[in-house]
């Protein structure tokens, strides 16, 4: 089944997804009971990095309860509807779920991943990443005009109450300020935002944390079944079968399309991409 959020889904696709949700609910009612703590997976990283795809594939596991960016976990956020409620309330919600494990996508809480992992014993995290050129293009195409520039404003102002700047290191804020200018093109702003969000992985010393694995979007597209098997091996969960990736056509890896960026921004992003590539990431399990 294609992404439920994908535009242009037809009548029969919607009906198939409704039928799947009913089957999944019946499975969970028969197999699980509420009230128990259960493993939690956090899908984090920069927006437009493949988080929706992997979240959707995990949703096709009959044992999961999944929470998207806008969900009951962020019902109290009056501004964007994205910031999580206090963690005790989130934990209570998780305990009430009838599931084998919980999958969440709190992208705007990526800066707090260390605290989330500490608050939910046994939890794991996938830090999704993607080539900055593809993310910049996707950001500018997907979000309303001016979004990439507005995303940098809280960092420039040092507004720690805004998730875009919250817990952002002083060195990173200085880098953003040094590379920014009022007429910065949209793609450059989006690439700089990508750099800032991914810097949080290293600022929190999470790249080598055994509870965290990076997952490269391009790997997932090239080998959906292999990478998802690697995800389940990392989670210590039984593989639900190739059916969860049946609708993802493998896409051979290609060199990133060139994107004209300010030289300083391109250098900074290339350096960050090299750091991401060097960190442990999800890979298909070894044969045999």
Residue 130 · residue 218 · CB < 8 Å? yes
* pLDDT tens digit sequence for 61-97: 999 999 999 999 999 999 999 999 999 999 999 999 9
| DSSP-assigned letter for residue 28 | H
Mean pLDDT for 158-181 is 98
Can you give the pLDDT at residue 23? Answer: 95
CA distance 247 to 40: 25
Closest CA to 194 of 82, 119, 253, 269: 269
Q: Which helix (DSSP H) or strand (DSSP E) does residue 19 occupy? A: helix 11-31
Can you give the pLDDT at residue 72? Answer: 97
Helix (H, G, I), strand (E, B) or coil at 130: coil
CA distance 214 to 52: 15
Mean pLDDT for 247-252 is 90
The per-residue b/e assignment along 140-160, b for 16 or more CB within 10 angstroms, e otherwise, is beebeeebbbebbebbeeeee
CA distance 203 to 111: 9
Residue 179 · residue 265 · CB < 8 Å? yes
pLDDT-based confidence at 4, cuts 50/70/90?
very low
Mean pLDDT for 145-158 is 97
Q: Where are the alpha helices (DSSP H) in 64-143?
A: 87-96, 113-119, 132-142
Can you give the pLDDT at residue 112? Answer: 98
Can you give the pLDDT at residue 111? Answer: 98
Closest CA to 277 of 256, 252, 251: 256
CA distance 44 to 227: 17
CA distance 142 to 190: 12
* pLDDT tens digit sequence for 102-138: 999 999 999 999 999 999 999 999 999 999 999 999 9
Residue 217 · residue 50 · CB < 8 Å? yes
Please state the pTM of the whole predicted model.
0.94
Can you give the pLDDT at residue 9? Answer: 65
User: Does 285 have pLDDT greater than 70?
Assistant: yes
Tokens 């096709």 sit on residue: 60
pLDDT-based confidence at 8, cuts 50/70/90?
low
Mean pLDDT computed over every residue of the chain? 94
Can you give the pLDDT at residue 5? Answer: 46
CA distance 23 to 110: 32
Can you give the pLDDT at residue 12? Answer: 78
What torsion do the CA atoms of 237, 114, 134, 151 make, to the nearest 10 degrees? 140
Fold that domain 32-278 belongs to in CATH: Rossmann fold (3.40.50)
């Amino acid at each position: 089944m294609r992404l439920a959020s994908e535009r242009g889904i037809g009548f029969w696709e919607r009906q198939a997804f409704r039928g799947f949700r009913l089957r999944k609910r019946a499975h969970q009612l028969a197999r699980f009971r509420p009230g128990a703590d259960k493993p939690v997976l956090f899908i984090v990283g920069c927006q437009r990095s493949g988080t929706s795809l992997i979240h959707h594939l995990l949703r096709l596991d009959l044992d999961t309860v999944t929470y998207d960016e806008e969900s009951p976990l962020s019902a109290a956020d009056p501004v964007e509807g994205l910031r999580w409620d206090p963690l005790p309330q989130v934990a209570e919600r998780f305990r009430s779920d009838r599931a084998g494990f919980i999958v969440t996508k709190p992208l705007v809480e990526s800066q707090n991943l260390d605290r989330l992992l500490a608050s939910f014993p046994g939890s794991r995290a996938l830090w999704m990443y993607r080539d900055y050129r593809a993310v910049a293009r996707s950001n500018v195409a997907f979000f309303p005009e001016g979004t990439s520039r507005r995303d940098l404003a809280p960092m420039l102002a040092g507004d720690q109450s805004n998730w875009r700047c919250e817990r952002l290191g002083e060195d990173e804020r200085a880098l953003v300020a040094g590379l920014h200018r009022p007429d910065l093109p949209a793609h450059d702003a989006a690439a700089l935002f990508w750099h800032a969000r991914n810097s949080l992985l290293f600022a929190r010393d999470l790249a080598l944390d055994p509870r965290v694995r990076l997952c490269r979007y391009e790997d997932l597209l090239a080998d959906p079944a292999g990478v998802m098997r690697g995800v389940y091996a990392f989670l210590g969960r039984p593989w639900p079968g190739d059916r969860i990736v049946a609708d993802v056509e493998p896409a051979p890896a290609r060199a990133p399309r060139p994107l004209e960026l300010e030289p300083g921004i391109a250098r900074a992003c290339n350096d960050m991409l090299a750091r991401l590539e060097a960190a442990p990431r999800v890979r298909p399990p070894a044969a045999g």
